[in-house]
Amino acid sequence: MKCIRCKAPAHVALPSHHSGFCKDCYPLFFTKQVETAIRREKMFTFDDRVLVALSGGKDSLALMLELHLQGYDVTGLHIDLGIPDSSEKARKKVENFCDLHGLTLEVFEMAKWGLPIPDVKAHVKRPVCAVCGKMKRHHFNRIAVEGGFDVLATGHNLDDEVARLFANTLRWDTAYLSDQGPVLPAAEGFVRKVKPLFRLSEFETANYAFMKGIEIHSDPCPYASGASFTGHKELWGELEHRSPGQKFQFYQSFLKTGKPAFAAMEKETGATLAPCAECGSPTSAETCSVCRIKAAVRESKAKDAG
């Protein structure tokens, strides 16, 4: 196969785009996809301050580098979860990456805030990943709001989005289906959230990260349990193999026809939000779920101590 841009031997084959690219032209394809996502979904402009959530994995680092190269005003935010060994390694990768490219980075430490993830694992009965995800979303939003950022960008790719959409559809979870998409608009107490990599698959992002020589944190989190999303991604991998382009079509059709219908249904039942009495984040209860979890862990630790 030849590169469809310059006719040199193709290095990456992309059946879903009926094309292939050489090493030099592939990053241009990636850039185009990110540009299209930002423009068509009106994610942000060059005047906006963009906070990018950086885990240390290939998606978030590829996103940060690409937005920086396109000239956007980006600041990285890494949450140090306090998981022995794993969190130290992830943080080092993010710090080295930002140093190398001269990028501004903020680091938020869960341990200093009083709730490292190992404490969640030891003291909360719910699955650790559900609570960890909630904590991360809470702090990403809070820090973006407090820092006066216009938008929070995350590295979710097409495979992440399709796996989540599939899971939500299997449960016909109308609340999540009404919200899912590449842009979640700002609301009182919530910054706008965007996913500029939603047009790109995991494979496509991994290729970009590799070609740009990005050193990523690839060790799995020691607390990761074979999450259902992994199974969903495998199923979708099979479907995509049989019918290239299926993933993107499924997602795009949902955005066009499914999401508006679910959003209309949910509009009727939306809860009223007010600031959390502890931290000020929007919540439908007196204190938000994150503050309640923190208090419960504190109590449980005190009980254990004696």
Phi, psi of 80 (to 5 degrees): -85, 110
CA distance 178 to 255: 10
Instruction: For residue 143, state whether it binds Zn ion (rule: CB under 5 A).
Output: no
Q: Which of 221, 255, 263, 279 binds ligand SF4 (CB under 6 A)?
A: 221
Nearer to ligand SF4, 10 or 163 (CB): 163
Residue 194 binds to ligand SF4 (criterion: CB under 6 A): no
Residues 124-143 that bind ligand SF4 (CB under 6 A): 128-129, 132-133
Give me the phi and psi of 53, to 5 degrees please. Answer: -75, 120
Two tokens, residue 142: 């809070």
Residue 21: strand pairing partners: 12
Q: Which residue has the tokens 């496509």?
A: 204
The answer to whether the CB of 266 falls within 8 A of the CB of 275 is no
Contact of residue 274 among ligand SF4, Zn ion, none (CB under 5-8 Å per partner type): none
Find the binder of Zn ion among 288, 293, 294, 297 (CB under 5 A). Answer: 288
Which DSSP symbol is given to 212? T
CA pair distance 72, 46, nearest whole angstrom: 5
- In angstroms, how far is the first alpha carbon of the chain from the final one? 69
Can you state the percent helix, strand and coil of the chain, rounding each to 5? 50, 15, 35
Q: Which stretch binds ligand SF4 (CB under 6 A): 20-28, 104-112, 220-228, 295-303?
A: 220-228
Q: Is 122 one of the binding residues for ligand SF4 (CB under 6 A)?
A: no
276, 293, 294, 297: residue in contact with Zn ion (rule CB under 5 A)? 276
- Which of Zn ion, ligand SF4, none interacts with 278 (beta carbon under 5 to 8 A by kind)? Zn ion
Shortest approach of ligand SF4 to residue 86 CB, angstroms?
A: 8
Structure tokens at 253: 């059709």
Question: Is residue 282 a contact residue for Zn ion (CB under 5 A)?
Answer: no
CB of 221 to ligand SF4, least distance (A): 3
Q: Is 229 a residue that touches ligand SF4 (CB under 6 A)?
A: no
Nearest distance from C-beta of residue 77 to ligand SF4, angstroms? 15
Site for ligand SF4 in 80-109 (CB under 6 A): 81
Residue 43 binds: one of ligand SF4, Zn ion, none (C-beta under 5 to 8 A by kind): none
Nearest approach in angstroms of CB 112 to Zn ion is 17
279 counts as binding Zn ion under rule CB under 5 A? yes
Q: Quick one: what does residue 191 bind among Zn ion, ligand SF4, none, with the CB cut-off 5 to 8 Å set by partner type?
A: none
| Spatial distance between the Cα atoms of 32 and 81, rounded to a whole number of angstroms | 34
Q: Are 197 and 157 in contact (CB under 8 A)?
A: yes
Give the residue ranges of DSSP H helices in 147-196: 158-170, 174-179
Measured between alpha carbons, how far is 213 from 200 in angstroms, rounded to an integer?
Answer: 18
CB-side neighbour CA atoms (13 Å) of 190: 14
Window contacting ligand SF4 (CB under 6 A); options: 158-166, 221-229, 259-267, 298-306? 221-229
The answer to whether 34 and 194 are in contact (CB under 8 A) is no
278 binds Zn ion (CB under 5 A): yes
What residues line the site for ligand SF4 (CB under 6 A)?
Answer: 81, 117, 128-129, 132-133, 221, 223-224
What residues line the site for Zn ion (CB under 5 A)?
Answer: 276, 278-279, 281, 288, 291
